[in-house]
Amino acid sequence: MNVLIDKFDVFAGGFWLTLQICVLAAIGALILGAVVAVLRISPVPPLRAVGTTYVNIFRNMPLTVVLFFAAFGLPALGSNADFLRIPGLDAIFSRLGTDLPYFRFGLIALVLYTAAFVCEALRSGVNAVPAGQAEAARSLGLTFGQNLRYVVLPQSWKASVVPLGSVIIAMIKNSALVGFFGVVGDLSQTADQLTSAGGYAFIPVAIGISVGYLIMTVPLGALLDRIEKRQAVAR
């Protein structure tokens, strides 16, 4: 178990990088997922079709395949995902701005994949709002946007926050895959590095990285429980 103490800095570095990619991917997935959810519940059939197609593709494809497309398909198309080199943001998340594109590729794959689940979590929340609410809002003359913003979404939030949290927790665990697609130094790749090049036994290292993931997921789960309890009062 000495590896946990001897190589603490390596674990800490891996944790930090995984946290970075998870924060960015969560933000990206929530935004994209919300957009797709709006498409899927919009009254315009072509937009609904676009949203449904998106969800069908990305929810039903293995993340590994999405990562393959991102890490080896995008370069084949001549893109290094340079649009993600967002000034300002790359000062905090230094990997966003590097010449090596694999952090950005991994991020894109995680966002695209998770957004499909975020969309469905949000949509299930919207569906939980009684139809009478939206009809009443429409009869008052609210537009589709106003309807969503003032009537439907505030109520749907209660029903979707817990599934959304589960989606984000799943995403944190899924992020372990990016280490195998060229992102050097995240938690899972750290384990690989320590066991094969470092020659450390696998189990202590596995315990170390598990603790790293638990530090991210367990507090998030606890936070969700609290939010759920507070929201429950409103019913």
Partner 1 sequence: MRYKRVAAVAAAATLALGLAACGGDDEGTGAGSKDFAAGSTMERLNKAQKIKIGTKFDQPGFGQKGLSGKPEGFDVEVAKLIVKELGIPEDKIEYVETPSKVREDVIVNGTVDLVAATYTINDKRKERIAFAGPYYEAGQNIMVRKDEAAITGPDSFKDGTKKVCSVTGSTPAEEIKKYVKDVATQLVLFDTYDKCRDALKGKQVDAVTTDNVILLGYIAKDEASFKMAGDNFTKEPYGIGVKKEDTDFRNFINDTLDKAFQDGSWKKAWDDTAGKFGATLGDAPTINRY
Residues binding partner 1 (CB under 8 A): 72, 75-76, 80, 94-95, 98-102, 180-182, 184-185, 189, 192-193, 195-199, 201-202
Q: How far is the CB of 223 from partner 1 (least distance, A)?
A: 30
Closer residue to partner 1, CB minimum distance, 52 or 192: 192
SS3 category, 164: helix
Q: How far is the CB of 192 from partner 1 (least distance, A)?
A: 5
Q: How far is the CB of 189 from partner 1 (least distance, A)?
A: 6
- Beta strands in 4-145, from DSSP E residues, in sequence order: none
8 A C-beta contact, residue 142 and residue 150: yes
Q: Alpha-carbon distance 27 to 221, whole Å?
A: 17
Q: How far is the CB of 195 from partner 1 (least distance, A)?
A: 5
Closer residue to partner 1, CB minimum distance, 43 or 199: 199
Closer residue to partner 1, CB minimum distance, 185 or 221: 185
How many helices (DSSP H) and strands (DSSP E) are in the chain? 12, 0
Amino acid identity of residue 172, one-letter, is I
Q: How far is the CB of 171 from partner 1 (least distance, A)?
A: 22
Closer residue to partner 1, CB minimum distance, 143 or 196: 196
Q: What are the CB-based long-range contacts (under 8 Å, 24+) for 216-219? A: 216/15, 216/18, 216/19, 216/22, 216/172, 217/169, 217/172, 217/173
Closer residue to partner 1, CB minimum distance, 182 or 221: 182
**Phi, psi (rounded to 5 degrees) for 42:** -70, 155
Closer residue to partner 1, CB minimum distance, 49 or 184: 184
Q: How far is the CB of 49 from partner 1 (least distance, A)?
A: 34
8 A C-beta contact, residue 11 and residue 186: no
Least Cα distance to 17 among 29, 25, 6 occurs for 25
